[in-house]
Structure 1
Amino acid sequence: MPRSTKKTAPPPSLALTANRILYEDAVLIAVNKPPGFPCHQTHDPKRDHVTAALQRFLQARDGASPKIALQHRLDRDTSGVLLFSKDPSVNPSLNDAFRERRIGKVYLAVVVLRPGQAPPPQRWTIQNFLARDKKNKQRMTAVRGGGDTAITEFQRLSQQGNRLIIEARPKTGRTHQIRVHLAQTGHAILGDTLYGGPEHNRYLLHAWQLCFEHPVSGETITIRAPKPKPFRGGGTGQGPAAS
């Protein structure tokens, strides 16, 4: 009998549409990144990514694609604001702004309380050192020395039953920083099984806002990505939502 061959489904492709453009001017463009796609090319050349999708969108819209440059990164399953430059002349000032922590970032995360578990404080800050986990290179872990300083400010925004929405303001830009810091407090993000979170179809982390000084005009630019349904809290940060 002939050997049966199982066909492998092709990797999904990303088609950016105009409603995904959050901000655009002559030198900058920001998109609302969907979850499930990397920001840039990976080791798998067949895997689509946001940078390529944006180039295709601009080519189709304008008949030509400028030399866009990704200015920061979001993890594959993180959604929200992703900033690109369209003019290489602004790259040095943007790179300096990110390195010097002059870019304000606000994220939203969904966590779930275990039975009997108390919610986190209304506000708290985590400051420690993070390094690659020696036992699992996919993970980051807190270390006493030899790692990179990581600082995140947190605020509990709302609670409905056992589900909470947390605001995170990272003051540094370490890999998996928010995910590690929430897991450290015993409140791993829903779906973030790498750090002990409950099962979900993806981990619920959303890059909601980016605030920075425009590299040309000097004016303050604030870009926000619409909140997906899981991040729209109707309760109160002080306790369970009223029924």
Structure 2
Amino acid sequence: MTLRKWTFTVDPEDAELRLDQLIAKRTELSRRSAREALKLGGVQVDRKRVKVAGKVVKPGTEVRVAFDPDLPPVPDTAIPVVFEDAWILAVDKPAGIATQGTWASDRHDLLALLKTQRPDLKLALHHRLDQGTSGLLVLAKDPKANAGLAAAFASRDLVKLYLARISEPLEACTVEEAIGRIRGADPGRFGCRGDLMDPKSARTDFRPATAEETAGLVPGHWIVARIHTGRTHQIRVHLQHLGRPILGDALYGGAASDRLWLHAWRLGLKHPVTQEALLLEAPPIRFRR
């Protein structure tokens, strides 16, 4: 990616400029690229996305611009549905798609795709997956479900299992190491050691996957991870801490591969409205032989 970002405050002498003109003046973008950034959702005025090229912005207002000329066309991938009823929607997120809008776009992500494919729904998100990670995501369709899911994820009253492939075997273990953003890291990443910003407690259980669980998958060292907390990049960071980074995870020292071998596999929870026990599963199709 060649993501470029700018942040500036509108000067009094620029108060009459259209937003696309202003961006072209205060960044290295042409007016054409400025309009493309606006169209994709890569412009924020006072922390809110704006897409109107002709908007005039008051002096003193903060403007943020993000533009990635290498963004692919807006995807039209059909999102597989794992489970749906009147209250919730569970889907299998494809790898390579962000869960929600990024700096440069609010059109390339899962929520945008679902909004296009299911315009009848107003969905609420309570957990996320990294862009390279595939698998289960549960969204609320109804205010009652929204409140119930919010409570379940806040209290961690659920079971979240992931499948990951690593380069060397790993015995069953539990990692309880706080995770924080590494100060000054570029690209940004997280860790358990070093100069960490706002480290928070994190716990992950690991065990080797069984032959039954990996039947039909590409041969290798497969593990099952259960997270008890929801820190950013938690499984990836804890596996790096153990010296067993995930295959394809270049950010955390994993061996080179054409994909990140991490999949949100199973989710056990009480239905947020009916309180029925649910065990949802997204088969790891992309990892099959």
* TM-score under structure 1 length normalisation: 0.80
Partner secondary structure for residue 44 of structure 1: coil
Answer yes or no: is 1:129 the counterpart of 2:178.
yes
Q: Which amino acid aligns with 2:180?
A: A
Aligned to 1:71: 126
Where does residue 85 of structure 1 map in the other structure?
140
- What amino acid maps onto 1:11 in structure 2? P
Partner of 2:255: 198
Residue 45 in structure 1 maps to residue 105 in structure 2: yes
Structure 1 window deviating more from structure 2 (190-199 vs 81-90): it is 81-90
Q: What percent identity do the matched residue pairs reach?
A: 38
CA deviations 1:122-156 (Å, max 9, x no partner) are x1100011110113162111148951110000011
Deviations 1:170-219 (A, max 9, x none): 01100000001111111100000111001112211000011111111110
C-alpha separation in 1, matches of 2:274 and 2:268: 14
CA contact (8 A) 1:110 1:231 kept: no
Aligned to 2:64: none
| Separation of aligned partners in 1, 2:144 and 2:103 | 29
**Do residues 157 (structure 1) and 205 (structure 2) align?**
no
Inter-partner Cα distance in structure 2 for 1:48 and 1:225: 22
Q: Is the 8 A contact 2:161 2:267 kept in 1?
A: yes
Partner residue, 1:28 = 88
Q: Distance in 2 between matches of 1:44 and 1:10?
A: 9
8 Å CA contact 1:112, 1:163 repeated in 2: yes
The one of 239, 247, 258 equivalent to 1:182 is: 239
Q: Supply the RMSD in Å over aligned alpha carbons.
A: 2.3
Q: What is the SS of the residue equivalent to 2:192? A: strand
1:141–1:9 Cα change, 3 Å: closer
> What do the CA deviations read for 1:38-82 (whole angstroms, capped 9, x no partner)?
0111111364110111111113xxxxx221111210000000001
Instruction: Give the distance between the partners of 2:167 and 2:71, measured in 1 at CA.
Output: 34
Q: Distance in 2 between matches of 1:53 and 1:47?
A: 7
Q: CA deviation at 1:17?
A: 3.1
Matched, 1:94 2:149: yes
Tell me the distance in 2 between the aligned counterparts of 1:45 and 1:161. Answer: 34
Higher relative contact order structure (alpha carbons within 8 Å, sequence separation ≥ 6): 1
Cross-structure match for 2:189: 139
Q: In structure 1, the residue corresponding to 2:265 is in which secondary structure?
A: strand
Letter in 1 for 2:203: I
Q: Which runs of 5+ in 1 are unaligned?
A: 1-7, 60-64, 114-118, 233-243
Structure 2 stretches of 5 or more lacking a match?
Answer: 1-68, 212-216
Q: Distance in 1 between matches of 2:266 and 2:281?
A: 4
Residues of 2 paired with 1:231 and 1:132: CA distance?
34
Tell which structure's C-alpha radius of gyration is larger: 2
Q: 1:176 to 1:10 in 2, by over 3 A?
A: closer
In structure 1, what is the Cα distance between the partners aligned to 2:218 and 2:93? Answer: 29
Q: Secondary structure at 1:147's aligned position in 2? A: strand
Residues 39-48 or 187-196, more deviating: 39-48
- TM-score relative to the length of structure 2: 0.68
| Matching residue within 164, 171, 180 for 2:228 | 171
Partner of 1:169, secondary structure, is strand
Q: Which residue of 2 aligns with 1:240?
A: none
